């Protein structure tokens, strides 16, 4: 239906021009209408084929451009058929030229309007501003497996797919299934001929997005309507036929419901005024059954509960652009640049990185930087709710002037030049009151090697770890022992401690010599930096101590702020 409607609209200007010729030309009206009808049928068939493959949204700019093109081609053909030797009659050419000119003027006005409405588009964003994110609790681990690593693992498991020679791995989509955050990736037809032979794809893979040791699992769920199918089973074409007046944002992505059934999900929007610019306050999402092709459209925040990303990553990227660049309109973004912020493009999906909060809600993360050249500091960062499209900007004093995501990746890249390990998927977290970049470290083959925690306002403060929890604990310990880090955290309480030393261990770190000890009848591991208590390096079993310690909320670790050792410090 959408293709037939778009084709009919594509020929409106031609039909107006044919009417002008019938009235003005010296050729009889009956002859003009006869040949005009024949060319209309020819043009309709040709444009139906073109629209079938191109699928232009039925919007003012698109239809104006297509109308101009078809009229410029078909009307001269009509004139030539009517009067081969004198088809350029002035009394016919003049009104047609006026018609073309008027159509071109309207198209130019539409293009200009698309720039002037950018500040209106900015106003359609629901924005909240916060000084900083809540600190992480003990149970929250700021890690998700890099998609390159997940894709690499799944690729190695493609042999389990029936008729694997027909397929390639499709787009990875992160979502929460049950209580676990996973990547979901359908297999897709590798070519047109594989589609002809296979007719349907075999299913999809899932793999944990938080556990680097997890293995992929293949689920057999045959699907006919997919991103790699052709003709009437191509997802984008199926949606276009029912919603031709909407623009589709990016490619449809697969999400899985609570019963393991996959669905294709596509964000769509109607443009503002006579432009193709989106109204970000009125996004919709189409959910399509890949077996039957049945679909329903919803407001993004009213989509079925199992859908985490009813707002696509592509649309989230557009939202960041409008929020940062066009806060005072298009002209300001080009010249004055007052209050302009540019989104970095270090994200894993269309310049943004999906992440989940403690409630299981998905957000798209992006850090914002200055438009000034050669500046690698961040001005803040945004989180966009993947169901509502609401944007929260964290631009408080702590987040202003810290290194940006590109800088965080470069720190990792310079750490292992001989191994060619590189940083991937940098995300900024609030760890014990400190803005911290958490970066996956991957080898050239996309295999996970380590995690890096980088203090965002100190490029020399970097902690690496082989596992998520180990890296986080090491980083927290380094923060508490850093003499230059005076930040009190919400994760600790200061307590008076006394007792007899039972075990002692001394180690050298980049922050100096660390003394760790246990007290009798106490399982808490106490750590003190020798720069705070120089005599701590002489601590022995049996010594009695009195100390002020910051105890972590898990009561398993504590850092010593002040300490007296009987017989040494008195």
Residue 114, pLDDT score: 85
Q: Which residues of the chain have pLDDT under 70?
A: 86-88, 135-143, 373-376, 481-493, 509-512, 553-555, 569-570
Which residues lie below 8 Å from residue 107, measured CB to CB, with a gap of 6+?
A: 61, 64, 65, 68
Q: Which residue's entry shows tokens 């003009």?
A: 32
Residue 509, pLDDT score: 65
| ∠ Cα 135 395 408 (to 5°) | 75
| Euclidean distance between CA atoms 221 and 219, whole angstroms | 6
pLDDT digits (tens, 9 = 90+) for 508-526: 766 667 888 999 988 888 8
Helix (H, G, I), strand (E, B) or coil at 7: helix
192: exposed, middle or buried (Cβ count in 10 Å: 0-12, 13-18, 19+): exposed
Q: Which residue's entry shows tokens 């898990």?
A: 554
Residue 561, pLDDT score: 82
Residue 488, pLDDT score: 39
Identify whether the C-beta of residue 546 lies closer than 8 Å to the C-beta of residue 564. Answer: yes
Residue 41, pLDDT score: 93
| Euclidean distance between CA atoms 545 and 563, whole angstroms | 7
Output phi, psi for 458, to 5 deg.
-150, 100
Which residues lie below 8 Å from residue 470, measured CB to CB, with a gap of 6+?
A: none
Largest Cα separation within the chain, whole Å, is 120
Residue 141, pLDDT score: 65
């Amino acid at each position: 239906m959408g293709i037939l409607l778009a084709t009919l609209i594509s020929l409106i200007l031609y039909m107006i021009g044919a009417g002008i010729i019938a009235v003005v030309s010296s050729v009889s009206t009956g002859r003009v209408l006869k040949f005009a009808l024949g060319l209309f049928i020819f043009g309709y068939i040709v444009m139906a084929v073109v629209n079938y493959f191109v699928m232009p949204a039925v919007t003012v700019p698109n239809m104006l451009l297509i109308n101009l093109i078809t009229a410029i081609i078909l009307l001269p053909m009509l004139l030539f058929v009517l009067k081969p030797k004198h088809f350029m009659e002035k009394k016919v050419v003049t009104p047609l030229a006026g018609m073309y000119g008027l159509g071109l003027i309207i198209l130019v006005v539409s293009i200009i309007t698309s720039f002037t409405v950018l500040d209106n588009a900015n106003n359609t964003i629901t924005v909240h501003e916060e000084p900083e994110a809540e600190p992480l609790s003990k149970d929250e681990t700021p890690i998700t497996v890099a998609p390159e690593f997940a894709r690499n693992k799944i690729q190695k498991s493609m042999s389990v797919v029936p008729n694997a020679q027909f397929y390639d791995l499709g787009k990875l989509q992160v979502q929460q299934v049950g209580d676990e955050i996973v990547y979901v990736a359908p297999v897709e037809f590798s070519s047109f001929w594989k589609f002809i032979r296979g007719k349907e794809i075999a299913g999809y893979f899932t793999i944990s997005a938080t556990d680097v040791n997890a293995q992929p699992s293949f689920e057999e769920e045959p699907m006919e309507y997919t991103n790699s199918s052709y003709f009437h089973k191509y997802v984008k074409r199926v949606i276009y036929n029912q919603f031709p007046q909407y623009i589709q944002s990016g490619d449809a992505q697969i999400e899985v419901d609570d019963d393991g059934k996959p669905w294709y999900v596509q964000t769509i929007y109607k443009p503002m005024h006579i432009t193709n610019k989106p109204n970000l306050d009125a996004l919709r999402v189409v959910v399509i059954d890949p077996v039957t092709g049945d679909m329903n459209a919803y407001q993004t925040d009213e989509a079925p509960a199992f859908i985490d990303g009813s707002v696509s990553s592509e649309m989230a990227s557009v939202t960041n652009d409008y929020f940062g660049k066009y806060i005072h309109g298009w002209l300001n973004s080009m010249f004055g640049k007052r209050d302009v912020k540019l989104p970095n493009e270090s994200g894993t999906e269309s310049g943004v990185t999906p992440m989940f909060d403690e409630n299981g809600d998905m957000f798209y993360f992006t850090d914002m930087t200055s438009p000034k050249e050669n500046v690698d500091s961040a001005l803040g960062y945004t989180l966009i709710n993947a169901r509502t499209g609401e944007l929260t900007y964290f631009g408080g004093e702590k987040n202003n002037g810290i290194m940006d995501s590109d800088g965080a990746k470069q720190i990792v890249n310079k750490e292992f030049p001989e191994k060619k390990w590189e940083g991937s998927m940098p995300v900024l977290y609030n760890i014990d009151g400190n803005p911290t970049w958490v970066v996956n470290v991957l080898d050239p083959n996309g295999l996970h090697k380590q995690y890096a925690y980088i203090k965002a306002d100190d490029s020399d403060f970097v902690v690496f770890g082989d596992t998520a929890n180990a890296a986080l604990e090491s980083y927290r310990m380094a923060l508490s022992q850093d003499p230059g880090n005076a930040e009190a955290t919400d994760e600790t309480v200061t307590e008076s401690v006394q007792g007899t030393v039972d075990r002692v261990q001394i180690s050298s770190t980049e922050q100096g010599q660390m003394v760790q000890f246990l007290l009798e009848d106490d399982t808490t591991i106490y750590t003190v930096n020798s720069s705070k208590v120089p005599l701590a390096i002489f601590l022995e079993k049996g010594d009695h101590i009195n100390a002020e310690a910051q105890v972590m909320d898990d009561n398993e670790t504590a850092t010593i702020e002040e300490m007296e050792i009987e017989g040494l410090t008195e």
